[in-house]
Amino acid sequence: MFNPSQYQDIGTTVGYCLKHNSLLKSSSHTTCRFLRRKDLPSFVAEESELEHAEEFKDTSGIVFYYGKVKHEKRRYSEKHAWQTNDFDQRLHDVAIYYKTRKRWVFLQALQGSRNPVINLIQSCLVRRYISNCGSSVDNYRLILAVTQDLLESIELKVADFRYEISPDEFKQLKDGYQRDVVLIRLYAVQEYGHLIKNDNIKWISDELNGSFLSSWEEYSLAVRQLVPTIRRRIIEQAEKKGVFFTTKPANKDELNLE
């Protein structure tokens, strides 16, 4: 996840690419050959990402979709953001993540927010983090925290959209985007299951039995009811591997608060 603070029409006004260390002022019209999709689990999106990489293989850095013209790289400056009255704490958090070495601690600090854009950022960064760690590191504690956040309610506001929309447009879009924020959290759990080769976690979304097609209220209830099952499966596999809160953490970056 290289631009974690934006998803289609919601998120920060300006994006930030973690791959190229650049602000994205035209993110709807730009890409790069390293594209990673947010709207599908990585193991489902792999084929389409490879096709995208092939299409843009001769490009370097960020480019516009049409014509593959190079996009000017622009670094984030907190000073400039304050001076121009453009400071956005959520975008700032992403820029801090790029710079910080204590990323596990940073991700834990983002847990528990009811702000959908913070939820989006945290879920995407967790997906990026566990992917970079690979299968040799068991990040069960991060995924347990993501799972716990599935119990929190999502309340999308007009201000969470990247552009001005009318009350009628907001009413039409609200439920769909709330579902997507929850799904992106759930994808983090599924990608974790894929990394540790646990199909019961990888395909946990199957337990929802098509509730995605029901109303937002019914869907969110089905997800909350699924949380105890997800939690139990994660803990059971961590205990089976002998990494559940042992004296030697599963990830050397963890803080042990046992």
Q: Alpha-carbon distance 4 to 177, whole Å?
A: 15
Alpha-carbon span 124 to 118, nearest angstrom:
10
112 residue type, one letter: G
Nearest CA to 109 out of 149, 153, 156, 154 is that of 149
The answer to whether the CB of 212 falls within 8 A of the CB of 223 is: no
How far apart (Å, rounded) are the C-alpha atoms in residues 15 and 3?
Answer: 6
Task: Give residue 3's pLDDT.
Answer: 94
How confident is the model at residue 202, as a pLDDT? 96
Q: What is the pLDDT of residue 1?
A: 67
Quick one: which of 191, 60, 68, 63 has its CA closest to 125?
191
Domain ranges of the chain: 6-63+70-241
pLDDT at 248: 74
Among the listed residues 40, 94, 38, 35, the one whose alpha carbon sits nearest the alpha carbon of residue 63:
35
| pLDDT score, position 258 | 58
The pLDDT value recorded for residue 257 is 59
Which parts of the chain sit beneath pLDDT 50?
Answer: none
Report whether 42 contacts 191 (CB < 8 A).
Answer: yes
Nearest to 4 by CA among 138, 96, 100, 134: 96
pTM value is 0.92
